[in-house]
Amino acid sequence: MMRGSFSALVLALALAGAIVSARADATEAAAQGSAQGIPDQQVSTMKIRIDLEGTAMTATLVDNETSRDFVSLLPLTLTLTDYAGNEKISDLPKRLSTEGAPAGSDPSVGDIAYYAPWGNLAIFYRDFGYSRGLIQLGKIDSGVEVLSGSNPVTVTIELIEEQQ
């Protein structure tokens, strides 16, 4: 009987440890999402279309104050120039709100971001490290590879869908 109780106790402790570990993993994932400017729950989904000299891409924007301010500028035609061999950038007609934004983010391929210190839009076609002042606006759904290369490109960006 004692051996059965000991086995049950060991099993209960192992199960409790697994639950605590899973909760810690979930908390860490939520914190990482918030640190990158990705809300835990998106209230709405905003889709944009990016027309690049005859090629169309779609992107999904995150629901944050900076993205909503960006959408208020659309439709918008910009000339994107290469910066540092990993992103295309362009000045925007006005500075965007940074209310509630994280201190920075760690962009990956396809991320669309606002670099607050310069007031410019950035679209990453290569992975990049954490940058203070970089606020994620969204992510290109597919086709980001057409942005690679050093040549400037002209794009037209428009809102195509907003769902609650």
Q: Any idea what the CATH number is for the domain that residue 132 is in? A: 2.40.100.20
CB 96 within 8 A of CB 66: yes
Cα dihedral across residues 151, 152, 158, 161: positive or negative: positive
Q: How many distinct structural domains can be found in the chain?
A: 2
The pLDDT tens digits for 6-36 are 444 444 444 344 333 333 343 344 444 444 4
40 lies in some domain = no
Partners of residue 89 on adjacent β-strands = 81, 122
pTM greater than 0.75 (yes/no) = no
159 lies in some domain = yes
18 lies in some domain = yes
Report d(CA 23, CA 13) in Å as an integer. 15
Residue 58 sits in the same domain as residue 102? yes
Q: What's the domain range around 145?
A: 45-163
Residue 80 sits in the same domain as residue 104? yes
Residue 123 sits in the same domain as residue 50? yes
Residue 24 sits in the same domain as residue 98? no
The pLDDT tens digits for 101-148 are 999 999 999 999 999 999 999 999 999 999 999 999 999 998 898 898
Partners of residue 24 on adjacent β-strands = none
Residue 72 sits in the same domain as residue 149? yes
3-state secondary structure of 79: strand
Residue 144 sits in the same domain as residue 87? yes
Residue 72 sits in the same domain as residue 103? yes
